[in-house]
Chains A and B, each alone.
Chain A
């Protein structure tokens, strides 16, 4: 095996006295699709948010292509990296949120063009071409000039995926991307994600869509109480879970 693109080393995160992540270690290979499942409150979102440093880990390290993200241990203490370095690191990791978080004052196309222009320094024509290409890829070429409030949830989430892809990230983080959607809109978003996985994108996906996990996931992690209770190939986790907690959880969601 080559060097993993992403390594999480004994990650701990507490909010005050509440320990939400109690030592998580994880390696993700280039092109791998890792699906994270687990009950609500088990720390799945916090894990993703620590990976791109939206939350500051209390202990442990995140390594992206071997480089520490957000903070560095110097002489036994954790030192924050300069914001500029962190901003740069974040451009390599796209994030898709449960509630889309599109910029409501910008059209779909402007949403996608914003970061390429402001962060990568693309000129308007290039950014526009890139934006149109990505919107077309997620099936929304004709909605380019529409403002988010006039799009369905499924369409908004696809724009959000296009927006994240516009930074040409090496890893995509999905935090329950279909949980806020009406059931009939889930499929179109999952389809975009499947295509993305097929194209070789490295993905970490928190989801309750077990069909997606089975079909697309290379590996499934079951989290509970801030730790990874069990991990393995989807087949193995879904058909022969080793731990009672995994079995109990699966019997509820399947």
Chain B
């Protein structure tokens, strides 16, 4: 018990860093994902091809490699950013690729007649997308987006490879001093579970609210 109390402040500090990484990458990743999704189904072929190339690249290579690449390669071309920024960029670029596929699938699951009805009323493609199609995707987006955010939370643990003391790294540091991996890692697991389970219960509550509206 004494040991647990001793390490908790350190783990909480790491947890704070984990949450910052998650929140920042989730925000940028979602914005990027939305843009990529729209590009994936854009009328212009070139735009579609470029977006699909991007998605293939980021889903087809290890996230660890992407983090190390951005952290290592940017300084090589003269761009020096804080480690945290590098990791947030890598996580956002990666999450964007996955979120793009989630949003694209949701858009394409909306009946084609919706876009046609909007266009037949004289609404432009962008306006129809914004006012008619995207709002209808929210409910369908919720479950896969929660999964994605949970995955992202766990993925932030890779930030330890560039020395950022987030929850995983903090826990490593503690257990390497104490040689008590059992307690350390159990507390660490509880930390991650707290985040992912909160996400899921928020989603369930939100879903119920949407259902009540019909």
Interface residue ranges, A against B (CB under 8 Å):
52, 54, 83-84, 87-88, 90-91, 93-95, 97, 99, 101-105, 114-115, 118-119, 147, 149-150, 160, 163-164, 167
Contact = CB atoms under 8 A, between A and B. Distances in A.
Contacts of B118: 103, 115
B124 A147 contact: no
Q: Secondary structure at chain A's binding surface: helix, strand, loop or mixed? A: mixed
Contacts of B122: 87-88, 90-91, 115, 119, 167
A84 B126 CA distance: 11
B113 A118 contact: no
Nearest to A114: B131
Contacts of B131: 114, 118
A83 B125 contact: yes
A94 B117 CA distance: 10
22 contacts: A52-B120, A54-B116, A54-B119, A54-B120, A83-B125, A88-B122, A90-B122, A91-B121, A93-B120, A94-B120, A94-B121, A97-B113, A97-B116, A97-B117, A101-B114, A101-B117, A118-B131, A119-B122, A119-B123, A119-B127, A147-B214, A160-B117
A90 B120 contact: yes
Contacts of A97: 113, 116-117
Given A105-B136, A114-B131, A149-B214, A119 B121 contact: yes
Nearest to A83: B124
B132 interface: yes
Nearest to B132: A103
Contacts of A83: 124-125
Interface in B126-140: 127, 131-132, 135-136
Contacts of A114: 121, 131-132
Contacts of A101: 111, 113-114, 116-117
Interface string B173-214: 000000000000000000000000000000000000000011
Q: Which 6 A-B pairs have the closest CB atoms?
A: A91-B122, A101-B117, A115-B121, A101-B113, A95-B120, A90-B122
Nearest to A148: B214
Interface string B97-118: 0000000000000010110111
A147 B210 CA distance: 13
Contacts of B136: 103-105
Interface of B: 111, 113-114, 116-125, 127, 131-132, 135-136, 213-214
Contacts of A93: 120
Nearest to B127: A118
Given A90-B122, A103-B117, 19 more contacts: A52-B120, A54-B116, A54-B119, A87-B124, A90-B119, A94-B121, A95-B116, A97-B113, A99-B113, A101-B116, A103-B132, A104-B136, A114-B131, A115-B121, A119-B127, A147-B214, A150-B214, A164-B120, A167-B122
Which one of A99, A102, A104 has the greatest number of beta carbons of chain B within 10 Å?
A: A104
Nearest to B124: A87
Contacts of B124: 83-84, 87
A167 B116 CA distance: 15
Contacts of A163: 121
Contacts of A167: 121-122
Which one of B117, B121, B124, B127 has the greatest number of beta carbons of chain A within 10 Å?
A: B121
Nearest to A160: B117
B123 A87 contact: yes
A83 B118 CA distance: 14
Contacts of A91: 121-122
A150 B117 CA distance: 20
A103 B124 CA distance: 16
